[in-house]
Structure formats: C-alpha cells, structure tokens
Amino acid sequence: MRPTKSARTALAIALSLWAGAITLHAQTQAIDAAKSTLTIRVFKSGLFSAFAHDHEIEAPIEKGLIDSSANPAVQLQIDARKLRVLDPESSADTRAEIERTMEGSTVLDTGHFPDISYQSTSVTKTSDAHWQVRGNLALHGTTHPIAVEVTLRDGHYVGSASLKQSDFAINPIRIAGGTVKIKDEIKIEFDIIPTQ
C-alpha cells in the first residue's frame, strides 16, 4: 500500500526538521577545556616598578560553548579559585604569595565570588576569519560589557581583550607606600579550541 500524499508530505517535513536539528547541533560545539588556554597579564607601574615583575596568570576554562550558526554566540566559565601565577622569574614561594593575595578579599575575593563567566551579546564579522565579539563579563560580583577581537587560525579561536579592574570594583594593589603598584588595565589573551 502506497502512502498518501499527505503522509508523504508529513514524512518530508519530519525529515527536514530532523536534518535541521542535526545541522544546528553540529554548529554548537563545546570548548575543549583541556586544550584551550586563557592567560591574564597584569602590569606593574610606579616609581620603583623596575624592582617588581609583571604577572602572567593562567585561568583554566571550566566549560564553554561556541555557536557558529546564523546567530553566532560564545559563552565560557572559569573558576576563580583555579587561577595560577606562572611568573617564570619568581620563586615558588613568591608565586604562592601572589596567588594568596589574588584570591583574597582585597582582589578577587574567591570565597565570595568563585565564578567568572562571559556571555556574548553580539558577534560581528569584520573580515574573513575575523570577528568582534561583544558580551558581558561577570567578575567579582560585577557584570560589565567587554569587546573582544577574535581570529580563526588553524581551527583555533585566538585573540585578546583589555579591561580595567576598577570596572569590577577591584582596587589595583599598591605596595611600598604606592611606589610599586599594579596598573588598573589588564590584558586577557586566549587560544580556544572547540571539541572535534
């Protein structure tokens, strides 16, 4: 018995919806947290800044998603308690002391604000394999808009952004009576790889 015209139409619609769902799923990829990197660069200033070091901080990505559909989007999450100081010129004891300060109430206050997250609000293609991503960064109990420049290179989404600590109610650290201090502006660099 041959299916009726209405049955064939219903089957075609169902197959179309199923294929569309598969395409949509393929356009949303998880971020490979084990292979992706996010680095925070903190810079010194002040009269005696020559006696201090800039800081390089690793911020492991907990999880995230990249949507490359017609309405592209990105979201990621970081556990502030897992940030690690990499400063190659500093001893292990000095790095540990910097981490304690960073996690403490005067900076990130990770006991009260353990989560750092970014959620895009718009993605604009500026040229081939280049985008400007605008979104909201939630940090230290404050949410603030951040624009990020992104390039797709060999399957990696790479780029950087700058932000001011004071925008997130963080006062840059000062030591030695303010003769050595941390600049308000910090730089974030990332190399994000989607899962295959």
The answer to whether residues 6 and 80 belong to one domain is no
Angle at 191 between CA 188 and CA 194, to 5 degrees: 135
The answer to whether residues 98 and 65 belong to one domain is yes
The number of residues making up the chain comes to 196
Q: What pLDDT, on the 0 to 100 scale, is given for residue 46?
A: 43
Q: What pLDDT, on the 0 to 100 scale, is given for residue 43?
A: 86
Q: What pLDDT, on the 0 to 100 scale, is given for residue 109?
A: 95
pLDDT lower than 70: segments of the chain: 1-26, 45-53, 174-180
The answer to whether residues 19 and 54 belong to one domain is no
Residue 5's domain comprises 1-28
Q: Which residues in 175-184 are b (16+ Cβ under 10 Å) and which e?
A: eeeeebbbbe
The answer to whether residues 102 and 163 belong to one domain is yes
Looking up residue 68, the CATH number of its domain turns out to be 2.40.128.110
Give the position of tokens 């060999």: 154
Predicted TM-score (pTM) of this structure: 0.78
Number of domains in the chain: 2
The tens digit of pLDDT for each residue in 36-85 reads 999 999 887 644 344 356 889 999 999 999 998 888 999 999 999 999 99
The answer to whether residues 19 and 48 belong to one domain is no
